[in-house]
Amino acid sequence: MKYQFEYKLTEQDYLNFNEFHFFNSPANKAGIYFWRWSIFWIFIVLSVLLASTSRFVFSGISLGVSLVYVFGLNRYYKWRIRSGILHGKKYEKLPYPENALLQFGEDAIIEVTPGIEMKIKYTALTKIATNCSTSRDCIYIYHNATQAFLIPFSVFEGEQQRTKFLEFINSKIPQGATL
C-alpha cells in the first residue's frame, strides 16, 4: 500500500460534502437557478396582480413568500441534510460511515467500513475537489457522479504529506478529473 488512512468522519464533514456537491453539481446548479427564479417571478407577478385588485395584504404575503424562498433555499437544504442525519442517529443508521479505512495501492483504492469492503480502480475516479470553500477541511475523491471518498486533512501529518498525496493521486486519475 502506498498510502493508508484510518479516520472518523463527523457530521460536519458529511454536511460540508453534501453542501459542496449540491451547489457544485452542474445538474443541481441548473435546477436551483431555474426553480429559484421561476418561483420568485411567479410570486412577484402574483403580488402585482393582487395589489392591482386592492388585495394588499395578500400581495404583501406573496411578496414575502417569494423573498423567503429565494433567500432561504440554501438554509432549507442544509436543514434537510441535518434532519436526515438526526433521523439516521435515531435508528442507528447514518448515511455516512463514521469509521473508515482507505488504502491506496498501485491500481486501486480500497475502502473498508464496518460491514463493507469496496475496491475502486483509479480509472473510475471522476473528480477530485480540494481547496474549495466548503472542502476546506477535506479532500473529496469522486468515484461516481454522487459519491466520493472524504479524506479529512487531519489524517495528514502536515502540509508536505498532503501535497505528496495529492501529487500521487493526481498521477493516478484519468485526465481532467481534478477540480
Helices 26-52 and 56-90 sit at what angle, rounded to 10 degrees? 150
Q: Which residue has the cell 488512512?
A: 5
Sketch the domain layout of the chain as residue ranges: 3-9+97-172, 16-90
Query: In this predicted structure, which of 26-30, 131-135, 154-158, 159-163 has the lowest mean pLDDT?
Result: 131-135
pLDDT at 21 > cutoff 60: yes
How confident is the model at residue 179, as a pLDDT? 52
Cα atoms found within 13 Å of the Cα of residue 92, Cβ hemisphere only:
0
- On whether the 3-9+97-172 domain is CATH 3.40.5, my answer is no
The sign of the CA dihedral 25, 30, 31, 35 is positive
Task: Give the H or E element holding residue 99.
Answer: strand 99-104
Measured in residues, the chain has a length of 179
How confident is the model at residue 117, as a pLDDT? 92
Hey, what's the cell of 76? 432549507
pTM of the model: 0.75
pLDDT band at 164 (very low <50, low <70, confident <90, very high): very high
- C-alpha 154: how far from its chain's center? 19
How confident is the model at residue 108, as a pLDDT? 93
Contact assessment for residue 139 and residue 128, using Cβ atoms and an 8 Å cutoff: yes
The residue that leads in pLDDT, 28 or 121, is: 121
Which residues have CB under 8 Å from 23's CB, separation 6+? 29, 32, 74, 134
Among 102, 93, 145, 136, CA closest to 120: 102
Hey, what's the cell of 101? 479505512
Structure confidence by residue, pLDDT tens digits, 30-65? 777 787 788 888 878 887 877 788 777 777 787 787
